[in-house]
Structure 1
Amino acid sequence: MRPARTTVATAVAAVAALTAVTGCADKTDAASGGKGGPAVHVTAKDDSCAVSTASFAAGHVQLAVENQGSRVTEVELLFPDGRIATERENLGPGTRATVTAEVKAGTYNIACIPGMKGQGIRKKVTVTGGTAERRDPAKDAAVDAYRAYAQAQADATLPKVKTFTDAVRAGDIPAARKAFAPSRVGWERTEPVAESFGDIDPKTDTRADGLEDGQKWTGWHALEKQLWQDKKLSADSKALADQLDKDLADWQQRVGRAEITPTSMANGAKELLDEVATNKITGEEDRYSHTDLSDFQANVDGAQKAYELLKPVARKNDPALSAELDKQFAAIDTLLAKYHDSHSSDGFVAYTKVAPAQRKQLSDGVNALAEPLSKLAAAVVK
């Protein structure tokens, strides 16, 4: 979920966490894009979005992005219909990063979004024919398997969500609380796929401080607030439950049509670690229920699944990177296991019980994994 920052304290915590995660990438100023072509340089400011070229060849492309503005910024490469081809969130002032994408010929938009709210400042770009690459059976197999995984997660989510929303409609607060975190697992594992559609995530997974002007608050977190902070369901709770069912059924139907490539899988895995750094470590995501560790585990699970499917390619192209990723995924899983609680409905202790020193240890583990994971996309396209 695209995080929002409405207080100085929240901004400092989130940006500090992300700076640690993306430290290596922040110092990167790529000189080449794709397989030998020039990178597309994107310079984001508070009131402008400069793109170094209005046209580039289809295939693998690198966006070398830099935030020269004063606010945290997001840069997106958008398909003509508004779906996200690739993105880089949480670019702090002065931050640079490189994002690898795989695109076909057509008209796209590059968007710089100061403050990570709204449509941002858009620049139209044209992707020209390019040279078709020879099909790689290993990459094709990874994409097919990941598509099946994403669909299976969506299919499994709907009945769990119905358990949650049925309890809300029945006014059964204890049952709804018990079902809340389990209903989110499949979504959190595959969130980059959901976010690629653009319009579903804001309706289902936005926090109160992430709302656009005039946007009605719907989705999981609107109900989470009622269940834990308000300790009572409001007059609109049944409508919110119905809307959540409808929006997630829409997501389930669209998953099979998602644009998935090896590079989008690798980028998505990194995005999931960024989610952990900016929302879970800080306790922002599930701020009322404190079920953040369940989402944390689901994000890691989804990232690890994408990596495992790409590992035959990554191991061939960069065996040292693959070995490091194996090591760091095992390490973060071991860290999370310390907080398992078999008596909890979501399988973890409440995040309020995780002390600051323990949160720092978790953050360090995420950082250690995110650094090599940021290199996966480049390894896959070698």
Structure 2
Amino acid sequence: MRPARLSAVAAVVAAAALTAVTGCTEKGDDGEGVVQVTATDDTCEVSAKEFPAGHVELAIENKGSKVTEVYLLFPDDRVVTERENIGPGTTQRVTAEVKPGDYRIACKPGMKGAGIRQDVKATGKGAAERDPRLDKAVAAYRTYVQAQADETLPLAETFAKAVKAGDLEAAKKAYAPSRVGWERTEPVAESFGDIDPKVDVREDGLEDGQKWTGWHRLEKSLWHDKKITDEDKKLADQLVTDLKDWQNRVGTADITPTSMANGAKELLDEVATGKVTGEEERYSHTDLVDFKANVEGAEKSYALLKPVAQENDAALVTELDKEFAALDALLDKYRADKDSYVFTSYDTVGAAGRKELSDAVNALAEPLSKLAAAVVTK
């Protein structure tokens, strides 16, 4: 789950870490297709309210005192692309593929709330015909996501059945396996509308008035409260219902080559700034299962886009291959065995181990931030 907010201290730490990784993105020549976004603590200014459809780059500068995030949204608030954890005084660039139509650019100072919004429009007929290899990559990735959703449902039903039976130990055992498919598809989680906050929100990520549902609400009952209530049994049924909704949305979700690439990068940022701290699975300590699934999902996006990226930026591909291999090898050290999806409890991983994981994630996130631009380079 991409957290809706961070504490003030955590946000500053996250910004410092990510500035080192992504805050020094090279500034290219700004021209047609580049929209300057200037964010402050109370404004969100854009250089153009209209821009040509096709490949659009947001050149973001945070002139405020708070960590911010910037979103390009459809009118119904589905996410086209985003860039989170933009520290004060830093710049970021993010490439997206947009069709003609109305959109919104939102800046979220403090990474809270709906943000300060500007209505914008993509005009014209869109980009030239896309490389057919990228269309093939999107189709293959959609098939992958659908398979993950289809495989998740029976595992989630097993988890829900144990909760409804009041079987605490069986529910604990079924919890982490039921999450793997979802975690693998998190690079495009926000393409599914409101599913993410329904099934994967943490207590400190709730918006005002939002009811807490999903895996983490049940996680707290199982490990922290050590009991299953009648309300938990209802929440287990709701989780399955929401996941069926997710399963049905995969076929119509708006997925593009750039959303695959940007989503993989944003997911690695989330791992670096939140999951490595143990915040995600704070009660069950099954964080390493999530990490591995997240990396597998990001690597799947990359593998499908790799043939085009290889032609456009061979050096980037070499670096990404190296960093993915290093992170995979590091995570595999924590497996029960090489063929198992059982990992060490994260509360037994000390500060040195967590730093090693964080460093490896950051080393991958930096080149991954360049993947979207590499696949649209002409």
Shorter chain as normaliser: what TM range?
Answer: over 0.9
Would the aligned equivalents of 2:39 and 2:61 in 1 still touch at CA under 8 Å? yes
CA distance in 2, matches of 1:129, 1:8: 42
SS at match of 2:259: helix
- Shift of residue 52, structure 1, vs aligned partner: 0.9
CA distance in 2, matches of 1:13, 1:185: 28
| 1:177 match | 172
SS at match of 2:120: strand
Q: State the aligned residue count.
A: 377
- TM-score normalised according to structure 1 size: 0.94
Look up the equivalent residue of 1:355 and give its one-letter code.
G
Look up the equivalent residue of 1:171 and give its one-letter code.
G
- Shift of residue 189, structure 1, vs aligned partner: 1.0
CA distance in 2, matches of 1:351, 1:85: 33
| 2:228 match | 233
| 1:19 match | 19
| 2:29 match | 31
CA distance in 1, matches of 2:63, 2:201: 27
- TM-score normalised according to structure 2 size: 0.95
- Shift of residue 88, structure 1, vs aligned partner: 0.9
| 2:184 match | 189
Structural mapping, 1:324-363, within 5 Å? 324-342=319-337, 346-363=341-358
Runs of 5+ in structure 2 lacking a partner? none
CA distance in 1, matches of 2:87, 2:242: 32
CA distance in 2, matches of 1:180, 1:346: 13
Structural mapping, 1:1-382, within 5 Å? 1-5=1-5, 7-25=7-25, 28-32=26-30, 37-342=32-337, 346-382=341-377
- Shift of residue 337, structure 1, vs aligned partner: 0.9
Deviations 1:56-89 (A, max 9, x none): 0000010011222232222111112321111111
CA distance in 1, matches of 2:179, 2:58: 32
- Tell me the percent identity: 68
- Shift of residue 201, structure 1, vs aligned partner: 1.1
- Shift of residue 9, structure 1, vs aligned partner: 4.7
SS at match of 2:85: strand
Further displaced range: 344-353 or 46-55: 344-353
Deviations 1:260-308 (A, max 9, x none): 1111111111112112112211111111111111111111101100010
CA distance in 1, matches of 2:201, 2:126: 40
- Closer, same or farther: CA 354–263 of 1 in aligned 2, 3 Å: same
Would the aligned equivalents of 1:2 and 1:116 in 2 still touch at CA under 8 Å? no
Would the aligned equivalents of 1:84 and 1:197 in 2 still touch at CA under 8 Å? no
- Shift of residue 11, structure 1, vs aligned partner: 3.5
Would the aligned equivalents of 2:24 and 2:91 in 1 still touch at CA under 8 Å? no
- Closer, same or farther: CA 53–334 of 1 in aligned 2, 3 Å: same
SS at match of 2:252: coil
